[in-house]
């Protein structure tokens, strides 16, 4: 019988897509990995995954079983332990973490220490325990001894190693970390050339999210920012994505219009099956940033951005952000409007992309 470890190792090659989660051990990251493993094993349906709809069948999206996970995190609670906590909280179905435990252990081997930035006088995300806080202090002490250029090089090395060791065709980096305060304005934020000079001079000018973005783009990985409010994004990152020839997607992190399976129609409250199979009750007109619906968004984004990368798109790519509530910050006026219109525009975009055979 094939073990999860050998499956993980043999998924490489043409078609395999690495999904690198910043905040991999957080609630959303862990739920995403549990759900993807359960999908691969045929244990759950792709409930909540918009790209699983028949409308996307003709698009050249990577299959669910072609997604391989790794990530960065400052927290040290292992994925398997975090998944059990989420099951106790009702975020994922009881017993599901045990069924995919081998896969969680394999994914845990691909999680590397994260980074802090100029904005990190903030609390860590939910799920951090005393051990995580102690380790975070150790991490921050180490980073006080390395400048941001060195930190970016370390993060870049993690991504290059992940891609090389597993023989991945491409890697999509998705930042799930909680948004921090905006970094103080700096001229280096305005262009990639001034940013490179400032980093080379040892200046500490970037928030943590931008450290991950720089590392992803330098490693020629697509980058998706789900954390930063639109007004706080750095023009230098979009310019760097264009220079490196990879897609850069920025959204507001909301879960948008999800393909949930509604069990009790009602205007105020609905009983819904969330990804990956947990049942919840909530307002029918409001979908929050809870881990389950956000996890299906992450998987959708990974598939769509991998498709954009295969099609040769680079620089800011607004279309995948049509999945979010509202519109992408740089979306044209014809993409605004009700969710149905945004969904149709997303389907047309995905179907229209031409990829090499």
pTM to 2 decimal places: 0.83
In this predicted structure, the answer to whether residue 122 has a pLDDT above a threshold of 70 is no
Angle, helix 148-165 to helix 192-200, in steps of 10 degrees: 110
What are residue 271's DSSP bridge partners?
Answer: 281
Closest CA to 162 of 28, 69, 67: 69
Out of 61-70, 90-99, 267-276, 299-308, pick the least confident. 267-276
Q: Could you tell me the end-to-end alpha-carbon distance of the chain, in angstroms, rounded to an integer?
A: 32
Q: Indicate the Cα dihedral angle 60, 61, 64, 69, nearest 10°.
A: 130
What's the pLDDT tens digit per position in 162-175?
A: 999 999 999 999 99
In a domain, 98, yes or no: yes
Please say whether the dihedral angle defined by the alpha carbons of residues 280, 282, 288 and 293, taken in this order, is positive or negative: positive
- The 10 Å CB-count burial string (b at 16+, else e) for 251-276 is bbbbbbbbbbeeeeeeeeebebbbbb
- In three-state secondary structure terms, 225 is strand
Total domain count for the chain?
Answer: 1
More confident residue, 321 or 43: 43
What are residue 225's DSSP bridge partners?
Answer: 175, 250
Residues 6+ apart with CB under 8 A from 337: none
Can you give the residue range of the structural domain that contains 55? 4-352
The reported pLDDT for the residue numbered 123 is 36
The reported pLDDT for the residue numbered 67 is 96
Mean pLDDT of 112-121: 73
Residue with tokens 């023009």: 235
In a domain, 357, yes or no: no
Nearest-angstrom CA–CA distance, 313 and 132: 38
Give the model's confidence band at 179: pLDDT under 50 very low, under 70 low, under 90 confident, else very high. confident
CATH of the domain at 36: 3.40.50.720
In this predicted structure, the answer to whether residue 255 has a pLDDT above a threshold of 90 is no
Residues 6+ apart with CB under 8 A from 204: 118, 147, 148
The reported pLDDT for the residue numbered 47 is 85
Mean pLDDT of 295-317: 96
DSSP string across 170-195: EEEEEE-SPP-PPPPP-GGGS-HHHH
Out of 58-67, 131-140, 275-284, 306-315, pick the least confident. 131-140
In this predicted structure, the answer to whether residue 3 has a pLDDT above a threshold of 70 is no
More confident residue, 3 or 322: 322
In this predicted structure, the answer to whether residue 133 has a pLDDT above a threshold of 70 is no
Nearest-angstrom CA–CA distance, 76 and 79: 9
HSE-up of residue 278 (Cα within 13 Å, Cβ side): 26
Give the model's confidence band at 290: pLDDT under 50 very low, under 70 low, under 90 confident, else very high. low
Give the model's confidence band at 77: pLDDT under 50 very low, under 70 low, under 90 confident, else very high. very high
Q: Indicate the Cα dihedral angle 149, 151, 155, 158, nearest 10°.
A: 110
Give the model's confidence band at 263: pLDDT under 50 very low, under 70 low, under 90 confident, else very high. very low
In this predicted structure, the answer to whether residue 190 has a pLDDT above a threshold of 90 is yes
Give the model's confidence band at 231: pLDDT under 50 very low, under 70 low, under 90 confident, else very high. low
The DSSP 8-state label assigned to residue 90 in this structure reads T
Out of 178-182, 210-214, 255-259, 319-323, pick the least confident. 255-259
In this predicted structure, the answer to whether residue 233 has a pLDDT above a threshold of 90 is no
Closest CA to 63 of 36, 85, 86, 83: 36
Give the chain's length. Answer: 357
More confident residue, 145 or 61: 61
Strands laid side by side in the 279-282 sheet:
261-262, 270-273, 279-282
Nearest-angstrom CA–CA distance, 206 and 193: 15
The reported pLDDT for the residue numbered 152 is 97
Nearest-angstrom CA–CA distance, 84 and 95: 8
More confident residue, 309 or 3: 309
Mean pLDDT of 266-282: 56
What are residue 124's DSSP bridge partners?
Answer: none
In this predicted structure, the answer to whether residue 91 has a pLDDT above a threshold of 60 is yes
How do strand 67-73 and strand 222-225 relate by DSSP bridges? unpaired
In a domain, 157, yes or no: yes
Please say whether the dihedral angle defined by the alpha carbons of residues 255, 261, 265 and 271, taken in this order, is positive or negative: negative
The reported pLDDT for the residue numbered 232 is 66
């Amino acid at each position: 019988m094939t073990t999860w470890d050998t499956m993980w190792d043999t998924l490489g090659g043409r078609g395999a897509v690495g999904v690198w989660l910043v905040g991999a051990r957080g609630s959303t990251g862990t739920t995403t990995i549990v759900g993807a493993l359960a999908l691969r094993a045929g244990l759950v349906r792709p409930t909540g995954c918009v790209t699983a709809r028949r409308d996307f069948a003709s698009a050249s999206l990577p299959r669910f079983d072609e997604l391989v996970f790794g990530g960065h995190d400052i927290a040290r609670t292992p994925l398997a332990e975090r998944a059990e906590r989420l099951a106790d909280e009702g975020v994922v179905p009881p017993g599901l973490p045990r069924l995919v435990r081998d896969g969680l252990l394999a994914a845990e081997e691909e999680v590397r220490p994260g980074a802090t930035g100029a904005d990190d006088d903030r609390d860590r995300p939910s799920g951090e325990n005393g051990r995580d806080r102690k380790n975070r202090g150790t991490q921050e002490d180490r980073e006080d001894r390395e400048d941001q250029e060195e930190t970016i090089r370390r993060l870049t090395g993690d991504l290059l190693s992940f891609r090389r060791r597993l023989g991945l065709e491409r890697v999509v980096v998705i930042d799930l970390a909680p948004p921090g305060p905006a970094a103080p304005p700096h001229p280096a934020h305005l262009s990639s050339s001034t940013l490179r000079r400032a980093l080379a001079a040892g200046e500490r000018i970037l928030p943590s999210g931008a450290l991950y973005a720089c590392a992803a783009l330098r490693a020629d990985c697509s980058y998706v920012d789900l954390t930063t409010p639109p007004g706080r994004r750095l023009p230098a990152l979009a310019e760097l994505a264009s220079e490196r020839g990879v897609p850069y997607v920025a959204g507001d992190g909301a879960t948008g219009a999800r393909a949930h399976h509604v069990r009790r129609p009602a205007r105020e409250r609905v009983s819904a099956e969330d990804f990956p199979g947990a049942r919840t009750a909530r307002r029918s007109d409001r979908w929050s940033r809870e881990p389950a619906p956000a996890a299906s968004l992450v998987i959708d984004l990974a598939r769509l951005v991998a498709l954009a990368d295969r099609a040769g798109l680079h620089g800011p790519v607004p279309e995948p952000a049509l999945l979010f509530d509202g519109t992408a910050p740089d979306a044209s006026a014809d993409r605004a409007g009700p969710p149905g219109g945004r969904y149709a525009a997303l389907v047309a975009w995905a179907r229209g992309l031409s990829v090499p055979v």
